[in-house]
Structure 1
Amino acid sequence: MALLIIGIVVFLGIHLLPTFRGVREGLIEKLGENGYKAFFSVASILGFILLVYGFASAPIIPIWTPPVWMRHLAMLLMLPAFILLVAAYVPGRIKAVVKHPMLTAIKTWALAHLLANGDLAGIILFGSFLAYAVYDRIALKHRQPTELIETPGPGSPRNDIIAVVLGIVFYVVFLLWLHPLLIGKVVVPM
């Protein structure tokens, strides 16, 4: 469990740096722009590896047993999470309306997994990501416009179709092949 917690602290900690302007600017001043980006990337990868390995090796300590319908709800919630994930990179009306589709995708993913998992490691992992995404969204509202990355206006409706189609494709591929390969079989009780 310690590796999971260390991984979460490193991964989410580095992703919280932009919310602390002084710390971020100090690191850029010391390391340079490219040095900061390299540090950010290495810390992110290291944190991600630690949290994945920590989660996989964490003991299963049941806290509660989710009702069967919550697993179905979780699977349903994951579809818009994948669409929002794609929409974060494809400028369209979805991105313009949601404003921060990546954070909304993370919140949806975390909530879905909190509903479907009742073990301590799952609650720690998914609860941490949900808290991070909520905090980061609130922090984005308080940043100065010059601190935010300028995004182009809404793209064509064609981009929304691309986001929806790719989101559905990624959802199906992840559900049928990648989830069982990387995490384990998706259990859908009848």
Structure 2
Amino acid sequence: MTYLILGIIIFFGAHLFSAFRSRAPGKDLKARLGYGPFMGLYSLVSAVGLGMMIWGFGAARPAPILYSPPTGLAHLNLALMLPAMILLAAAYLPTGRIKKAVKHPMLAAVKIWALGHLLANGELNSVLLFGSFLAYGVIDRIAVKKRGDIGPGPDAPVSAIGDIGAVVIGAGAYAVILLWLHPILFGMPALPQ
């Protein structure tokens, strides 16, 4: 459990620092270091934290059970993952109606993913991991709003390719993870037993 907790602290520490760092001229660390060095350091710290979380999550099994969710919540989690994957894809594609409506689809995807997994998993390691992602998603959304980052502006051009791509890529990724990758990557079948 120690590596999981350290990974959470390192990963989200870097992300929260980035979310709340000063963007004022002369005070913005990203501007002072330069984009490349800042992003390199940020990526390295995040990767270390993520690696520790992944390893620590698996090493914490079997973990104490805090609650036993009914099977129906596992099915709800499966249903929530499809829009989460579509939103995740939308975050990296040209602005479509999905991205324009949601404004920050990556944060929305993280919150939906984390909430769904909290509903379906009651082990301590799951609650720590997914609870941390959900808390971060909420905190970062507040920080983004406070900074005045409204996502794609009201006059941003909308591309149908962004929406079509988000649905196709998101649904495809959902199917691959559901049917094949989840047990390989996470040691657990995605489909309820």
> Counting helix residues as a fraction of each chain, which structure ranks higher?
1
Among 86, 108, 115, the alignment partner of 2:112 is 108
Contact 1:93 1:154 in 2 (8 A): no
TM-aligned CA distance change 1:39 to 1:94, over 3 Å: same
Task: Give the letter aligned to residue 158 of structure 1.
Answer: I
Task: Give the letter aligned to residue 161 of structure 1.
Answer: I
Identify the residue that residue 174 of structure 1 maps to in structure 2.
177
Q: Take 1:49 and 1:106, find their aligned partners in 2: how far apart are those partners? A: 18
Contact 2:20 2:143 in 1 (8 A): no
Task: Give the letter aligned to residue 2 of structure 1.
Answer: T
How far apart are 1:116 and its partner, in Å? 0.5
Q: Take 2:100 and 2:31, find their aligned partners in 1: how far apart are those partners? A: 33
Q: Take 2:115 and 2:12, find their aligned partners in 1: how far apart are those partners? A: 17
How far apart are 1:89 and its partner, in Å? 1.0
Matches within 5 A, 1:94-173: 94-144=98-148, 153-173=156-176
Contact 1:17 1:23 in 2 (8 A): no
Q: TM-score of the superposition, structure 2-length normalised?
A: 0.89
TM-aligned CA distance change 1:128 to 1:56, over 3 Å: same
Among 64, 68, 71, the alignment partner of 2:67 is 64
Q: TM-score of the superposition, structure 1-length normalised?
A: 0.90
Among 51, 54, 57, the alignment partner of 2:53 is 51
How far apart are 1:4 and its partner, in Å? 0.3
5+ residue gaps, structure 2: none
5+ residue gaps, structure 1: none
Identify the residue that residue 9 of structure 2 maps to in structure 1.
9
TM-aligned CA distance change 1:178 to 1:35, over 3 Å: same
Q: Take 2:31 and 2:100, find their aligned partners in 1: how far apart are those partners? A: 33
Identity %: 48
Q: Take 2:143 and 2:31, find their aligned partners in 1: how far apart are those partners? A: 23
How far apart are 1:154 and its partner, in Å? 4.0
Matches within 5 A, 1:68-107: 68-90=71-93, 91-107=95-111
How far apart are 1:51 and its partner, in Å? 0.4
Task: Give the letter aligned to residue 143 of structure 1.
Answer: R
User: How many residues of Structure 1 are paired with residues of Structure 2 in the alignment?
Assistant: 187
TM-aligned CA distance change 1:109 to 1:169, over 3 Å: same
Q: Take 2:29 and 2:162, find their aligned partners in 1: how far apart are those partners? A: 36
Counterpart of 2:68 in 1: which secondary structure? Answer: coil
Task: Give the letter aligned to residue 58 of structure 1.
Answer: A
Task: Give the letter aligned to residue 12 of structure 2.
Answer: L
How far apart are 1:155 and its partner, in Å? 2.6
How far apart are 1:103 and its partner, in Å? 0.1
Q: Take 1:48 and 1:62, find their aligned partners in 2: how far apart are those partners? A: 23
